[in-house]
Structure 1
Amino acid sequence: MIARFLLLASVAGTSIITPSVFAQEAAPSAADGVEQTNARGDVIIVTARRRQETAQEVPLAISVIRGDSIEATGNFNVVKLQQLAPTLQVYTTNPRNTSVNIRGLGVPFGLTSDGFEQGVGIYVDDVYNSRVAAATFDFLDVAQVEVLRGPQGTLYGKNTTAGAINITTNQPTFDFEGRAELTVGNLNYKQAKAAISGPLSDTVAARIAVAATSRRGTLYNTTTDRWINEQDNLGIRGQLLFKPNDNFSVTLSGDYSKQDPECCGTVFVRVGRTQRALTRQYDALVDAINAANPGRNYAASRNPYDRLTDLDSSLSAGNKIGGVSAKVKWDIGPGTLTSVTAWRFWDWKPENDRDFTGLSVVSKSQNPSQQDQYSQEFRYNYESQKIDFVVGLFGFKQRIDTQGTEQQGADAVKWSLAPSTDPANPYNRPEVLAGLTATNTQYLKSTSAALFGQLSWKVTDALTIQPGARLNYDKKSGFYERIVTNGAGQVISCTPAPASGTDLAAQCGVYQPQVSAPSDSAWNFTYDFNVNYKVARDILAYATYAKSFKTLGINQNGLPLNADNTVNYDAGTVKPESVNHFEVGLKTQFWDRRATFNLSAFRTEIKNFQATVNGGQFGTVRGYLANAEKVRSQGIEADFKVVASERFTAYANGAYTDAKYKKFTNAPCPPELSGGTSQPADATPDYSQPGVPGALSPRQCDISGQDLPGVSKWAFSYGAEYNIPVTLLAKEGQVYLGVDGNYRSHWNSNASPSIYTEVKGYALTNFRAGFRGEGFDLFGWVRNAFDVNYIDNLQVAPGNTGLIAGTPGDPRTWGGTIKFSF
């Protein structure tokens, strides 16, 4: 891994075409109020430990990405951030179903449930965003992003077992300043940003920022004759700072973001044989539907990279995100008291095509949600010559309401029912399932409170011991009700079980009424211990052990069924995760601090890992939580950056991550071992006939030893910049050239790894060139310059038909940007 890493570093170091991915200077945001200039190299101020210090002084693995670096590389939201931080994995099928993981851990990969907590905390100006979907907004006037790896529960309000993404925005200033930015590109890409800040009086300053982004979609829907998976984003943020003196300040903030694209569609990727009867697998089902509709001759494009789809259901990814907060800081002697009060909302209005085809199998699928969250954090930071500490109290309350509708279409009988030649059989009567509708009503109430703290004892000038602890209480209660109506609008009941072969039996095999009200609460005590030693002025070694947890979960989206088709109420709650984390690291600077090299090695073991599993059929819930007995993630990470001169900078980062299910004996089976008649309940599972139609299917699979989904073993990012001073059009400035890139090795996108959902590794390369001077920057850019074909995500279509759908990554894009500031 080190050899590969150093090779990339040397490649970057000899490149003369580079981007300003990491700024040469490290001027902190205006809110820092600290002058940080160092002609010899890079000094970056962070607040990872709730106090200002340089990144090299923090004894934990941390990636710091400046706002101008994010803009330069086109990574304008959390989803794109992984291109700059190799240890970060972000996968999305739509804003709600977004997984943000660090080192392979955080959010269970797959369909999202409101009933669990995320393991990667996302904070914007100290405000916790409880759902990943509520943090998919465009970065707006961002000063810096810190990606902290490993458990952070003794420093941050909400417990996080895998890490935290700490986003800091630019703050109001008492000096008048402003900036504007305009970008245009192919695919009708347009992005405009503006921010202005200044004093309203001697004690009051204000800042307002706006951004709008639009882009044509990347997939063409032949059914609707329009491009889909577009971008249509608008955001605004306003801040008001009251600072009567140097010891006291109040910052009021408000923000609102709106996304309204026609999104998020998929394309046909492949068909993989399952154990379902061959007449009930994808190709045979399409043939049967075509035969029942003379002249139809349905056929999907089988090349995912021609970017053609034929989805026939309405698509939408309407997303409204916003909130207000009040941050009070009061310096009291040697310490600072901070209060952060916040309310945030998230309004999600989706429409999906759940069968992933142009056939009318599922004609409607939508689950709009509304979230309100309230949080209050009190924190006291104390600093002295020998002792530093932070102690905090955190309270959190959340409610999420969801109203779901899913409806069967005219082709559902041929897709979901066993073939029959009897004209009276439901299989030959489309009206039996057409219009069959499941209406879901659900809510989640979540309450959390915590007392946390961390102490730094400077035993000597070189040795520091740093213990931390957290006491946490969580309570969750939910409600789920599914009402099923037939095509005539009549409510149906599946109790007692209807006679086989009847219309009602066919309907109950697709949707069953269900009511559940899971509820649980738990106390947890966790702690961590860090020892760090300054070997020399610019060499810091550290070791950390953390005992952490992820709180209990509840299955909020409905419960799976037992073998006798009854509801499995035992699956209503999910045990908390128990986490043991070990890490050692080395942080170094050399060559008069022009070069930085950091290395970390980690091992994280989790008992009762909360995994998302899938039922497979339309008639069961699509995804629910279950506990895997044990998971382990271990690896090595390296970060290198060099400021060779005012003319040249370069960086290269690498990560090796080995994340596995150490023990998961009752996992759902992958599609190649699903769909057939179940093996006897007392039989030893037989895995010897994957993809054999008609073979008996195991009731569950032992996937112990297999890789966690969504994790590439190898990931790299690199970049550099070379500039030349010139005078152009009477303007003094720099002409610069840049390159940045990233690589990820293959990974699997199914909770139980499947031979059909293996995503190939890929490498992306971006170039840019421009001219910048005092107060302006003009450059052209090309992203995915070599037009690499790659897949962002693969999904297994429900029904065990063998259909695999996916989302191709962005093709080559190009454009130009102009920025002004004063």
Structure 2
Amino acid sequence: MHNMMKAALLAGAAWSAMTTMAVAQTPDSDGTTVEEMVVTARRREESLKDVPVAVTAVSAERLERTGAADLTVMQQTTPNLTVQVARGSNSTLISFIRGVGQQDPLWGFEPGVGLYIDDVYVARPQAAVLDVFDIERIEVLRGPQGTLYGRNTIGGAIKYVTAKIQGEPEMKFKGAFGSYGQRDFVASAKGKVSDTVGLGLTWAKFDRDGYGTNLTTGAEHYNKDVGAARATLEWEPSEQLFFRLSGDLVQDKSNPRHGHREVQALNFLGAPIAGGAPLPGVYDTRAGSGDVNRVETRGVSLLAQWNVSDVLTLKSITAYRAGETEGSIDFDGLPAQILDIPARYNDHQFSQELQLLYTGDRLQAVAGIFYLNATAAGAFDTVVSQANLTIATAGHVDTKSWSAFADVSYDVTDALTLSVGGRWTQDEKTGQVYRQNFSGLPSPLFGNSTAIPGLLRSNFTNEKSFEKFTPRVSLRYEVNPDLTGYVSYSQGFKSGGFDMRADAILTPNSVNGYEPETVDSYEAGLKGYFFDRRLSLNSAVFYGKYEDQQITQQTPVGASIASQVLNVGKSHMSGFELEGVASFTSSLSANFSLGYIKAEFDEYRALDLSTLPPVVRDLSDSRVFQNTPEWNGSLGLTYIHDMGDHGKVSFSPSAAYRSSFNMFEIASSLDQEAYWLMDASLVWSSSDDRYRVGLHGKNLGDEVYRIGGYNFPQSAGVLFGNSVSAFYGPPRTVTLSLEAKF
């Protein structure tokens, strides 16, 4: 609480000074106002200023102007957000908000940050690194949002809002060509085909050669081969009824990412392996586990909306999603199968949400019920050639979830609004885990019928139920029409489950599964406009208490690996966030953000497998939060030159900063030092906005930085080849984009 008090005092002093300046100064006459952003963070359209939640919203116009490629761009401009491509993948998403998230995309272990596509919850992170096309805006809600959203928003929610169908039929074609053989194409047709029916069709193909090379197979490494399609049918038979049927498909055939070996490879005797030195190119590899990778996700949803009256609306959101993944991770990065993981996953989910929205003169409310029926399954081999051993692992998790939620706001006075909400959740989970040793490489799960069965490590099925009520309350005060303050308390909940890598021999208690985790979040914020709406500022200070925190941990033990999903204990997080937009003149504007977080473990109780027999210890003094830099910030400028009938030109340079952070809860050589990313975009658009040409430079300083890694050093497991590998963010790239509308 001491850190939160300091942050609150600093923020209060800054706002006091800004308020004084706003009153004392008058803007120049050539200025323009900041555009007001409308969001649906609380399931209804509201000005961003009036939402008592820390929200970052980025419009499609800004994303296009800066050449945003995919969802990970939000990390650069959103305070205290980490959103990246998961280690060992091309399109799997990892997300952290204020220290809460998930790095391990194992099936059955649910993310702490919820991803929503048009209010449809996406349960699995595979193929969730969504490319930016056919979009209206992206919203990031920080802190628990369980009283407003259907599932797993203990850390926050990311909303990918697609563009609505409006106006006359229009066709749009966009191509992008750039560094490393980039070849992107997007074609869409959208518009009203009658007074009541709208149709939208979009096809996209994203291709790029690799940043590096697999020197063993000759294949491209870090390449991109992704196809996507969306179709939307809207029907509005009357002013009271609206229906929207949507379908989407994403296919990722990019080559597997095996990582970059960071240290010399060693054999089981500790002697160097020939050819096992780190390669000079961080995007190169010598991996020999193959170049086959395939990820596919698809979904269909139906929105039905009935405007019962001017104040009452009923909504139904029905959705089905499914996906499959096939690939491999070469942990050692060498031709031999020192530590290779061939794997496949599949999942499917059905969800149904019913909402009631009420908007009266003084009372506004959203209430709903949510149902989810999902199955996540998979299999993988842990291939250890130095022991002629394969550990085969397979299993599935079935989840049935029922929830009811409500959030009611009442205008106590014209200036003061009280919001009270709650959520009841009941989850039922069934987990089945199989794990067995085989002599031979690989196991029968991946086609080796001659492998000899060995020790059966796990073979169990278990069930668990979880139930929790979580509250939320907030007070919002309108200081004046341009300035709003709020305080809030909310609790987030994520149920427990079963570790799909559970080893009943090394960790017998794993057959019982792990328990739920909760976060109690306290927040205070100020949002407003200054200098006659030439400057907008959104700020928040927060404090969170994390209880029964779930952590995934893998520890080499002999020729095996002990996997654990642990409820390690307690932690706390405190910090502040500031973001805004300033309009200096009709031609020049700026956007900026700043985030600070201090996250610390108060208790970290885990089984210490380095002792015999293993014992449970409190390791909080030597544990840190992963993927949570203490400081992050950004600054971007936009200069627009209007050339009349010849169109207009915009120039948008930007810089984003992230301080040093840890890859895992234990400090390692993979931890990333502080770094800056410099971008710039130059865009010409015609006077009628039908044509657009853009030149976009990303990471212009060619910064080399890690976004993930695997850590199996020789001291932890002598048979794993000293496998310490890292995955890196994109190098410097330049892209030319061309767009035409008809």
| Length-normalised TM-score, structure 1 | 0.81
User: Aligned pair in 2 of structure 1 residues 781, 743: CA closer, same or farther (>3 Å)?
Assistant: same
* Offset from partner CA, 1:85-127 (integer Å, 9 cap, x none): 23211241125864211111022x3x33333332211111110
SS in 1 for 2:61: helix
Change (3 A) 1:535 1:356: same
Per the alignment, in what secondary structure is the counterpart of residue 324 of structure 2? strand
Q: Deviations along 1:18-48, whole A, 9 cap, x unmatched?
A: xxxxxxxxxxxxxxxxxxxx96321111111
Match of 1:86 among 70, 73, 79: 79
Counterpart of 1:368? 344
Matched residues in 1 for 2:58 and 2:702: separation?
A: 26
Distance 1:457 1:405, change over 3 A: same
**Secondary structure at the counterpart of residue 574 of structure 1:** coil
Matched position secondary structure for 1:368: strand
User: Relative to 1, partners in 2 of residues 1:754 and 1:803: Cα closer, same or farther, differing over 3 Å?
Assistant: farther
- Equivalent of residue 544 in structure 1, options 482, 488, 492: 488
Q: 1:83, 1:74 → 2: CA distance?
A: 13
Letter in 2 for 1:402: G
How much identity, in percent, do the aligned residues show? 25
Is the CA contact (8 Å cut-off) linking 1:140 and 1:210 kept in structure 2?
no
Q: Please identify which structure carries the higher strand content.
A: 2
**Which of 329, 339, 358 is matched with 2:316 structurally?**
339
Give, in angstroms, the shift of residue 209 of structure 1. 1.1
**Which residue of the other structure, out of 739, 755, 764, is the alignment partner of 2:677?**
764
Amino acid at match of 1:105: V
Residue 702 (structure 1) aligned with residue 622 (structure 2): no
With over 3 angstroms needed to count, the CA separation of the structure-2 counterparts of 1:97 and 1:47, relative to structure 1, is closer
State whether residues 331 and 723 of structure 2, in contact with CA within 8 Å, keep that contact through their aligned partners in structure 1: no
Shift of the 681–202 alpha-carbon distance from structure 1 to 2, 3 Å rule, reads closer
Letter in 2 for 1:101: F
Aligned 8 A contact 1:122 1:129 in 2:
yes
User: What does residue 200 of structure 2 align with?
Assistant: 207
Residue 534 of structure 2 is aligned to residue 606 of structure 1: no
Alignment of 1:8-87 (within 5 A): 40-87=33-80
Report the CA distance between 1:621 and its aligned residue: 4.5
1:262 is the counterpart of 2:255: yes
SS at match of 1:309: coil
Give the paired residue count. Answer: 703
In the alignment, which residue of structure 2 is the partner of 1:625? 565
Partners of 1:42 and 1:643 within 8 A in 2: no
Q: Does residue 639 of the first structure (1) align with residue 579 of the second (2)? A: yes
C-alpha spacing 1:680/1:124, structure 2 compared with 1 (3 Å): closer
In structure 2, what is the Cα distance between the partners aligned to 1:337 and 1:779?
42
Q: Deviations over 1:291-331 (max 9, x none)?
A: xxxxxx323235454x3321111144411011111000110
Gaps of 5+ in 2: 1-6, 19-30, 446-450
Cα RMSD for the two superposed structures: 2.7
1:523 aligns with 2:440: no
Change (3 A) 1:270 1:667: farther
Query: 1:787 aligns to what?
Result: 702
Residue 373 (structure 2) aligned to one of 392, 397, 400: 397
Question: C-alpha separation between the residues in 2 aligned to 1:86 and 1:358?
Answer: 41
Indicate yes or no: 2:327 matched with 1:407: no
Q: CA deviation at 1:353?
A: 1.0
Residue 676 of structure 2 aligns with an amino acid whose one-letter code is A
Cα distance, 1:464 vs structure 2: 0.2
Residue among 777, 786, 792 paired with 2:692: 777
Tell me the CA shift for residue 542 of structure 1.
Answer: 0.3
The match for 2:211 is 218
Shift, 1:723, TM fit: 1.9
Q: 1:178 aligns with which of 163, 171, 177?
A: 171
Cα distance in 1 for partners of 2:599, 2:648 equals: 44
Q: Is the 8 A contact 1:214 1:233 kept in 2?
A: yes
| 1:435-584 equivalent positions in 2, closer than 5 A | 436-487=389-440, 512-559=456-503, 561-562=505-506, 567-570=507-510, 572-584=512-524
2:22 aligned partner: none
Q: Aligned pair in 2 of structure 1 residues 777, 443: CA closer, same or farther (>3 Å)?
A: same
Structure 1 residue 99 corresponds to structure 2 residue 52: no
- Does residue 597 (structure 1) correspond to residue 597 (structure 2)? The answer is no
- Give, in whole Å, the separation in 1 of the partners of 2:80 and 2:657: 11
CA distances 1:38-89 after superposition (whole Å, capped 9, x unpaired): 9632111111111111111111100001123223334332333212323211
Matches of 1:792 and 1:68, distance apart in 2? 27
SS of structure 1 residue aligned to 2:185: strand
Q: Is the 8 A contact 1:41 1:643 kept in 2?
A: yes
Q: Which residue of the partner structure matches residue 808 of structure 1?
A: 728
| 1:298 to 1:352, Cα distance in 2 relative to 1, 3 A | same
Partner of 2:28: none
2:335 to 341, 354, 358: 358
Choose the corresponding residue for 1:739, options 653, 674, 678: 653
Report the Cα offset of residue 531 of structure 1. 0.4
- CA drift of 1:335 comes to 1.0
Task: Output the CA distance in 1 between the equivalents of 2:457 and 2:373.
Answer: 30
Deviation of 1:248 after TM superposition, in Å, equals 0.7
1:512 shift after superposition? 4.9
Match of 2:526 in 1: 586
1:735 is matched by which residue type in structure 2?
V
Look up the equivalent residue of 1:776 and give its one-letter code: Y
C-alpha deviation, 1:783, in angstroms: 0.9
Distance 1:643 1:622 in 2: 55
Residues 450, 90 of structure 1: CA spacing in aligned structure 2 closer, same or farther, 3 A cutoff? same
Residue identity in the other structure for 2:96 = N
Write the letter of the residue equivalent to 1:766.
D
Which residues of 2 match residues 146-165 of structure 1 at below 5 A? Answer: 146-165=139-158
Aligned mates of 2:555, 2:305 — CA distance in 1: 50
How far the C-alpha of 1:287 sits from its partner, in A, is 7.1
In structure 2, how many angstroms separate the alpha carbons of the residues matched to 1:625 and 1:577?
Answer: 12
Q: 2:662 aligns with which of 735, 748, 768?
A: 748
Alignment check: 8 A CA contact 2:570 2:604 kept? yes
Partners of 2:441 and 2:280 lie apart in 1 by 39
Check 1:366–1:137 CA distance in 2 against 1; reply closer, same or farther (3 A cut): farther
1:198 positional shift = 1.9
Rounded Cα–Cα distance in structure 1 between residues aligned with 2:53 and 2:444:
57
What secondary structure does 2:75 align onto? Answer: helix
Amino acid at match of 1:326: L
Q: TM-score, normalised by structure 2?
A: 0.89
Q: Please state whether the residue corresponding to 1:455 is helix, strand or coil.
A: strand
Cα pair 2:547 2:571 within 8 Å, conserved: yes
Per-residue CA deviation, residues 144-197 of structure 1 (Å, 9 max, x unaligned), is 111001110001111411111111101222422232211100100111112211
- 1:445 is displaced (CA, Å) by 0.5
Q: Would you say 1:797 and 2:712 are equivalent positions?
A: yes
> Within 2, Cα distance between the matches of 1:331 and 1:704?
56
Structure 1 residue 615: deviation in Å? 1.9
> SS of the counterpart of 1:359?
coil
Per-residue deviation at 1:679? Answer: 5.5
Distance between the aligned counterparts of 1:597 and 1:437, measured in 2?
A: 56
Question: Does structure 2 conserve the Cα–Cα contact (< 8 Å) formed by 1:661 and 1:705?
Answer: no
Please tell me the residue identity of whatever aligns with 1:748: N
Structure 1 SS opposite 2:628: coil
1:560–1:639 distance in 2 versus 1, CA, 3 Å: farther
Q: Which runs of 5+ in 1 are unaligned?
A: 11-37, 272-281, 291-296, 414-432, 493-502, 683-698
Q: Distance in 2 between matches of 1:806 and 1:255?
A: 32
d(CA) in 1 for partners of 2:441, 2:279: 37
Q: Which has the larger radius of gyration?
A: 1
Cα displacement string for residues 626-674 of structure 1 (whole angstroms, at most 9, x for unaligned residues):
00110211110001211223311101101001112221032658xxxx6
Give the whole-Å Cα distance in 2 for the aligned partners of 1:218 and 1:721: 30
* CA apart distance, 1:738: 1.7
Instruction: Please tell me whether the aligned partners of residues 558 and 621 of structure 1 are also in contact (alpha carbons under 8 angstroms).
Output: no
C-alpha contact 1:603 1:635 (8 A) present in aligned 2: yes
Distance in 1 of aligned mates of 2:272 and 2:631:
44
